[in-house]
């Protein structure tokens, strides 16, 4: 009898241990997973916008966002390789390629701002009075004035390469320096070297007080800078947290957050850093 009691006791203890064992972690794509990976551009980070938005998203939804801020080219590659759940990027042509390959489930217009050329106040290439961006870049190259490029396949770098292509100039020589860095670091190098660079307006305004750079060219229609949010396709990557990614995309285009984007930066910089575009047709956007 004692042996039977001992056996029963052991079985009871074993069943309790099994019942108390940790639950298996949910798969990345399951409703129970509250972490999402966001691959985005350095401009959304350097402008401070995501520092404001991500805590709001977490409070409203319970999702925790791991942000990876890289160039748009790298962010798109992360999506294609299944290393991100959602993208916030600004290179429309490259984004469309991702969608055509089937790696994007949804692509939604969020906001826009613009690119500008900044440089030293004395403007050695004399571009300040030029309304056409490509003319200004020709003048910079002809003068051999220092120009700092991100050289990182980011959305900004893609725009810069496109602009050089339109000039017919291949930017090479001591005057042309590639940092391989994000927008903030590239702006700091340009400031230190009294050089020109192409930047999104938001990053420049956020860092303006720390730089010896001025906006010398703006307003050209080719400098429009459009941001989309892309949900990665779970058919390509089954462990993608599609529920979390869609929640983040819906958050960005909600009325509340579009209004927040509309006003972001106005108090500090006297102008918005981004313009909300949810529900608009991309073709309707203009400078």
Q: Among 223, 238, 256, identify where a domain stops.
A: 223
Q: Domain for residue 7, yes or no?
A: no
Q: Does residue 218 sit in the same domain as residue 244? A: no
Q: How confident is the model at residue 11 (pLDDT cuts 50, 70, 90)?
A: very low
What average pLDDT does the segment 153-170 reach?
A: 94
Predicted confidence at residue 71, as pLDDT, reads 87
User: What's the pLDDT score for residue 34?
Assistant: 93
Contact 238, 29 (CB under 8 A): yes
- Specify the DSSP class assigned to residue 224: E
Helix (H) / strand (E) element for 162: namely helix 155-167
Phi and psi at 47, nearest 5°, equal -75, -15
Provide the 8-state DSSP code for 107.
E
Q: Where are the beta strands (DSSP E) in the chain?
A: 35-40, 64-69, 86-89, 104-119, 147-149, 176-178, 196-200, 214-217, 224-232, 275-276
Residue finishing a domain among 223, 248, 263? 223
Strands 147-149 and 196-200: parallel
pLDDT at 286: 62
Instruction: Using the 3D structure, point to which of 223, 247, 268 is the last residue of a domain.
Output: 223
In this structure, are 92 and 127 located in the same domain?
Answer: no
Q: Which three-class secondary structure state does DSSP give residue 134?
A: helix
Task: Please give the share of the chain, as a percent, with pLDDT higher than 70.
Answer: 88
In a domain, 130, yes or no: yes
Residues 88 and 162 in one domain: no
Average pLDDT rounded to a whole number, residues 43-72: 94
- Percent of the chain scoring above 90 in pLDDT: 80
15 has pLDDT over 50: no
What per-residue confidence (pLDDT) applies to 198?
98
| pLDDT tens-digit readout, 221-268 | 999 999 999 999 999 999 999 999 999 999 999 999 999 999 999 999
Asked whether residue 187 is assigned to any structural domain, the reply reads yes
pLDDT value of position 17: 39
Same domain? For 185 and 239 the reply is no
Question: What is the tally of helices (H) and strands (E) in the chain?
Answer: 12, 10
C-alpha torsion sign, points 51, 45, 192, 181: positive
Residue 48: pLDDT over 70: yes
CATH number assigned to the domain comprising residue 233:
3.40.190.10
* 193 and 165 in a common domain: yes
Average pLDDT over residues 67-86: 95
Q: How confident is the model at residue 43 (pLDDT cuts 50, 70, 90)?
A: confident
Query: Domain check: are 61 and 96 in the same one?
Result: yes
- Residue 55 forms part of a structural domain: yes
The residue range of the domain holding 268 is 35-112+224-278
Number of domains in the chain: 2
Say if residue 219 is in the same domain as residue 231. no
Same domain for 107 and 231, yes or no, is yes
Q: Is the pLDDT of residue 5 over 50?
A: no
Cα-flanking dihedrals φ and ψ of residue 253, to 5°? -100, 5
State the pLDDT at residue 287: 53
Residue 234 is predicted with a pLDDT of 97
Residue-averaged pLDDT of the chain: 89
Q: Are residues 231 and 184 in the same domain?
A: no
- Is residue 216 in some structural domain? yes
Residue 22: predicted pLDDT: 33
What would the pLDDT profile of 103-128 be if each residue is shown by its tens digit?
A: 999 999 999 999 999 999 999 999 99
Mean pLDDT confidence for 26-39:
71
CA distance 184 to 49: 14
SS (H, E, C) 25-90: CCCCCCCCCCEEEEEECHHHHHCCHHHHHHHHHHHHHCCEEEEEECCHHHHHHHHHCCCCCEEEEC
| 219 lies in the same domain as 242 | no
Q: What confidence tens digit (pLDDT) does each residue in 180-234 have?
A: 999 999 999 999 999 999 999 999 999 999 999 999 999 999 999 999 999 999 9
267 within a domain of the structure (yes/no): yes
Is residue 28 over pLDDT 50?
no
- Examine the domain organization and report whether 214 and 229 are in the same domain: no
- pLDDT for position 25: 38
Verify that 133 and 206 share a domain, yes or no. yes
Whether residue 29 is contained in a domain is answered as no
Position with higher pLDDT, 154 vs 139: 139
């Amino acid at each position: 009898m004692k042996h039977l009691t001992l056996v029963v006791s052991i079985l009871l203890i074993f069943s309790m241990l099994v019942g108390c064992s940790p639950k298996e972690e949910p798969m990345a794509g399951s409703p129970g997973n509250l972490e999402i990976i966001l691959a985005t551009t350095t401009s959304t980070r350097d402008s401070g916008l995501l520092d404001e938005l991500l805590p709001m998203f977490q409070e409203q939804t319970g999702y925790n966002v791991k942000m990876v801020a890289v160039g748009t080219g790298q962010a798109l590659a992360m999506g294609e390789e299944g290393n991100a759940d959602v993208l916030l990027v600004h290179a429309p042509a490259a984004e469309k390629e991702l969608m055509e390959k089937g790696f994007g489930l949804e692509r939604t217009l969020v906001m826009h701002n613009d690119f500008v050329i900044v440089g030293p106040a004395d403007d050695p290439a004399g571009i300040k009075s030029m309304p056409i961006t490509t003319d200004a870049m020709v003048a910079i190259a002809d003068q051999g004035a220092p120009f700092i490029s991100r050289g990182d396949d980011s959305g900004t770098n893609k725009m810069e390469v496109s602009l050089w292509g339109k000039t017919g100039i291949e930017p090479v020589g001591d005057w042309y320096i590639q940092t391989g860095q994000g927008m903030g670091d590239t702006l700091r190098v340009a400031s230190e070297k009294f050089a020109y660079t192409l930047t999104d307006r938001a990053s420049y305004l956020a860092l303006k007080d720390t730089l010896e750079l001025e906006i010398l060219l703006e307003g050209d229609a080719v400098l429009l800078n459009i941001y989309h949010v892309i949900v990665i396709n779970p058919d390509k990557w089954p462990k993608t947290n599609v529920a979390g990614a869609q929640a983040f995309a819906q958050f960005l285009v909600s009325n509340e957050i579009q209004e927040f984007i509309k006003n972001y930066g106005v108090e500090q910089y006297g102008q918005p850093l981004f313009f909300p575009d949810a529900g608009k047709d991309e073709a309707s956007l203009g400078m």
